[in-house]
Amino acid sequence: MVTDTISDMLTRIRNANMVRHQIVQIPLTKMSLAISEILKEEGFIEDFESYTENRKNYLLISMKYNGKSRQPVICKIERVSKPGLRVYANSKELPKVLDNLGIAIISTSSGVMTNLKAKELGVGGEVLCYIW
């Protein structure tokens, strides 16, 4: 069993991106579902759906590529806050990823959201990952 489900999810997406797979299977958790919703809203993935197999819930993510050469939309995906070293930011210290060309996913008391939405709402929280 995996202890850090967020790192596992990000690693699976990163690996599928490198070898240009069309879909990725990820164990379903509330956090992975919330992160997938953000990735879809921001245009980093095509779509996602959940399904059950042998009484276990999974999330299928459809990856997104550009052009005939299938260049990945996600250039880099990087975990920031880890179980051994949590990283928090208040609303005034929220990170800018590539001068707002990328996003940071923040876990706040109001739910999981991007750094731009958290700044707009004036809330801080745990910085989960950077994506660009």
User: What whole-number distance in Å separates Cα of residue 28 and Cα of residue 18?
Assistant: 22
User: What whole-number distance in Å separates Cα of residue 131 and Cα of residue 122?
Assistant: 21
User: What whole-number distance in Å separates Cα of residue 88 and Cα of residue 107?
Assistant: 9
- pLDDT over threshold 70, residue 96: yes
Contact 31, 83 (CB under 8 A): no
Per-residue pLDDT, averaged over 120-128, amounts to 96
Structure tokens, 14:
């990163």
Of the candidates 126, 104, 129, which has an alpha carbon nearest to the alpha carbon of residue 114? Answer: 104
- pLDDT over threshold 70, residue 1: no
Pairing of strands 71-72, 77-79: unpaired
Q: State percent of the chain over pLDDT 90.
A: 93
Per-residue pLDDT, 115: 95
Phi, psi of 99 (to 5 degrees): 55, 45
Per-residue pLDDT, 2: 80
11-23 as b/e: b if 16+ CB within 10 A: ebbbebbeeeeee
Structure tokens, 115:
């750094």
Per-residue pLDDT, 100: 85
- pLDDT over threshold 70, residue 49: yes
As a whole number of angstroms, the longest Cα–Cα distance in the chain is: 46
Structure tokens, 100:
């707002």
- pLDDT over threshold 80, residue 80: yes
